[in-house]
Amino acid sequence: MVASFVFRLPLVLLVAQLAASATVSRTPAKRSYDSHDYYVLQLDARASATPDECANELGVELVEQVGELAHHYLVRVPSSSFDSPDVSSSPSKRSNGQISSSSPASDAIVERFHALRSFPSTSSHSPEARSPSSPSRSHERRRRISKSLRSLERQVPRQRTKKRAPIPERSDGTSVWDDPRAPVPPGSKSQVIAQELGIVDPIFNDQWHLANNQYPRYDLNVSGVWAQGVTGKGVITAVVDDGLDVNSDDLNANFWLEGSWDFNDHTNLPLPRLSDDQHGTRCCGEIAAVKNDVCGVGVAYESKISGIRILSGPISDADEAAALNYGFNTTSIYSCSWGPPDDGRSMEAPNILIRKAVLNGVNHGRGGKGSIFVFASGNGAGSGDQCNFDGYTNSIYSVTVAAVDHAGMHPYYSEACAANLIVAYSSGGGNRIYTTDVGKNKCTSGHGGTSAAAPLGTGTIALALQVRPELTWRDVQHIVLRSAQIINPDDPDWEKTASGRLYSYKYGYGALDAWTLVELARTWPLVKKQAWIEMPQVEIPGSAIDALGVMTGGEFIGPNGVESKVEVTEEIMKSHNFENLEHITVQVWISHHKRGDVEVEIESPSGIKSILGGARRFDTATTGYPGWKFMSVKHWGENPVGTWTLRVKDQQVPNVNGSFLGWTFNLWGECIDDSKAKLYVLPEDMPESNGEDHPPPLTVSFTTTESATSTGTATMKLKPTNGLPDDHDLAQGDNKNPAFPNQSTSTAPPSSPSHTVAPDEGYFDHIGDLLNSSTWLIVALVLTAIFASAAGLFFWRRRAQRLASSGAGSGGDDMAMGIVDDSSHRLLGGGPRGPGRRRAAGELYDALGEVSDDDEEENEYADARMYEDEEERRAREAEHPGLRYHDEFLEDDTPDSAAVSPRMGTYRDDVGRSAGAGASASTSELPPREKQAQGGGAKSTTTATGTLLDVEGTSTGSGGSGDSWEHASADVGR
């Protein structure tokens, strides 16, 4: 395969790219983990000793610098004769000068490192210093080396994980790709676009994410951008995955060798060599498939694409760190569709070396404008997973992309959380993503999951960078969220934030729209540099964490949960050169017998609540939250001055409890004065003090993953298909249910009884609350009295009816009873009950009186017709049957009358607003920067041809399908 590629790629181009690669990118040395043990040695930035001196003193071989990380060096020694134990899940020591968790206690290199680190503490008056065997020159050299050493971390290769969508398979060996596809009607959206732009790619009509013929409003709205010549020219994207098939006719012309590397097989061609190495090629096709006659087109079909292969075998943290910075001077975007297992029980963050690489990318990549990292939110929502338990997706440096399907619905697999920035299109509701596959001219119809949504976000950002290459990584996040389009506006998950924008845990700030994004990018005023505020750490008295990370003490989490508050003042803002809020991060220390029972939320001074972590039913870990960091983008643009309240609660299960030990709160945003701004440095890289280091009790960094099934392979990044449900492409989407149904909303009034409970449960849903109150006895007595009265009245009416039927009894009595009953009917509804009339609240009296449905139906007409003969009465009843109690209750729950609607609160949209009104209101409340650069939320407005304008702007949205997943939201305009 390699030879085939070399002959097909023009020789001049190949030589030029190889030369550029040699001068611009550091070519990683080949690893030999089978025969050598590898370590990452960090030297102090002020080190006077050279890397070679330090390596020689440690007795290790210096291999190379770790990627683009300054002062970090990969060293190695031949493997020990004994097998080193796997300690990857043991707690990590994070005080300065200590090794990481991955170093065996018996490691001779580790012992040597400790000995060298402790050397400066030897007194100059000690016997060793005065000994003739300690010459002054040797002593000085060892002292310099000792002061130069910062940390040592042993490298243990681990398998990173893909999150791709499986190809649908059948028992006869065929796939959905073999099925004949329905012909596309002439004049359809995709055909008109193809004709106008000269697209002849055979599966373009199937690429609904680019041109949706069935639901025209639900695609990337990209054709008008293409018509302007914006196709990603000059922008390079790296897909960090399982390889890129450079032999594909759909990708070869756009392949960028300089930014490519295979960290699994240590070659410069990241070819897919394993049978399941397909996901990376498919993602590359979504982004940059060439406009030709092979398969389909990419979103940015004239951009360049690199492959960085890391998911096809075990790699170390040093390899992953190098991969995320590889070629970062020329590569603009890193598309990452992988992460921790989406099983609803894992909680994993990247280790310190990888966090350093990501920070290095945003600080120094693209000539200081910052690398752009795009991550898929995850496919584990069906297992109760949430993307805030993934340290890649909840990073402030990530553009986190969730999924919606071809009808604009939320797929049940797409993870929700406060870190979701936006949604893009992917599988669900009977459809999938059509794109390039591994092979010379192969295509696939089986791509899906959030790992297919993220590359669409990547390609769209590439279009924006073509027209505005000076955008920084934070500018990109700004324009992405500000150009997002609200879909399913009646979904109760939407909430109006303090900035005036809508936010949803499921949809982020809305659906990606290429036209609006590019138009906004053209005129967007660049943000000032980043500023941040690290609020003082809050520690509950009596809390403690030992050297092994075991948490004790803290405040017990009782029935009312635990609250803790911090105050942000104007003075704090000014002293930190802080002007506008973007992200917030919250790090918590919580001990608990079942981590999945814990719920964490924070409320801003404006009353906006961010659910940071909801309950996860499958997470049975007993390790709690030993310093886990959550992130929220929901408070973007909000004034942070005032009191922020953190709330922690659990499910109050007997003997399954925990305690809250403390938390830290950080704010990230835009500075006041650019001239005073500085780059953020991780605490681990801060200069060491000369005095003795005493880290505070709650600064233990969380660096390992604990789960119910943790066996020491906790930091594995699974294949992108891992955890994606088999029915990801077929399951019906949703736009009626909030992501966290049991959580209160921001500044919402007390909730009323739900309209969606089962008929026999609605009125007794809170009986447990009555039992906890002393008023329940009074209520019970009153209900008993009502019951007795109702029973007496019932027998009185039955007796009067029987007397009337037999012609006996006092007519006066019977008439008086009839008058009373008829009057009650008029008070409740203005006339006798008939079909379609709803029962008023007072009519619950009948149910409490235990009147049977049949008797009630008969008695209503008996009172009004007591002097008619029995046959006539029955005949009239047959013509006008009455509603029964449970029938009416069910009627109240019909979609027209009782569908769940957004809860009304200070920051909620009006329930009945139209899509257009909502869009207008949202625009009117935008801050000055956004009004200045707003690109508009409509479909393409000015294109090269009028025909394209008609296709994008005048489609009716009727899909021609009557399937159950066609919701009314499909008719809501952008």
Number of CB atoms found within 10 A of residue 329's CB: 15
Where do the H-state alpha helices sit in 508-598?
514-523, 570-575
Q: Which of 755, 851, 865, 733 is nearest to 805 (CA)?
A: 865
Q: In three state form, how does the secondary structure of 750-788 look?
A: CCCCCCCCCCCCHHHCCHHHHHCCCCHHHHHHHHHHHHH
- Give the 3-state secondary structure of residue 139: helix
Q: Give the residues across from 590 on adjacent strands.
A: 625, 660
What are the catalytic residues?
241, 279, 451
Tokens of 625: 């939250």
Rounded to whole angstroms, how far apart are CA atoms 899 and 893? Answer: 7
Tell me if 41 sits within 8 A of 99, measured CB to CB.
no
Rounded to whole angstroms, how far apart are CA atoms 169 and 176? Answer: 8
Dihedral sign for Cα 283, 287, 292, 296, please: positive
**Residue 630: CB partners within 8 Å, gap ≥ 6?**
388, 394, 418, 419, 585, 586, 587, 588, 600, 612, 613
Q: Which of 260, 377, 258 is nearest to 16 (CA)?
A: 258
**Residue 125: CB partners within 8 Å, gap ≥ 6?**
none
Rounded to whole angstroms, how far apart are CA atoms 939 and 948? Answer: 10
Q: Give the residues across from 568 on adjacent strands.
A: 642
Q: Which of 937, 955, 936 is nearest to 215 (CA)?
A: 955
Query: How do 609-613 and 495-496 pair as beta strands?
Result: unpaired
End-to-end CA distance of the chain: 46
**Mind giving me the DSSP string for 826-850?**
HHHHSS---TTPPPPGGGHHHHHTT
Name the DSSP letter for residue 291.
S
Number of CB atoms found within 10 A of residue 473's CB: 23
Tell me if 588 sits within 8 A of 559, measured CB to CB.
no
Q: In three state form, how does the secondary structure of 301-360 look?
A: CCCEEEEEECCCCEECHHHHHHHHCCCCCCCCEEEECEECCCCCCCCECCCHHHHHHHHH
Number of CB atoms found within 10 A of residue 673's CB: 11
**Mind giving me the DSSP string for 160-202?**
--B-PPPPP--TTS--GGGSPPPPPPTT-HHHHHHHHHT---T
Tell me if 241 sits within 8 A of 280, measured CB to CB.
yes
- Residue with token string 């709650």: 698
Q: Which of 426, 327, 328 is nearest to 376 (CA)?
A: 426
Rounded to whole angstroms, how far apart are CA atoms 433 and 346? Answer: 28
Rounded to whole angstroms, how far apart are CA atoms 917 and 938? Answer: 13
Q: Which of 393, 448, 449 is nearest to 421 (CA)?
A: 393
**Residue 271: CB partners within 8 Å, gap ≥ 6?**
1, 2, 5, 243, 244, 245, 246, 247, 262, 309
**Mind giving me the DSSP string for 506-533?**
TTBT-B--HHHHHHHHHHPPPP--EEEE
Q: What is the CA radius of gyration of the chain?
A: 33
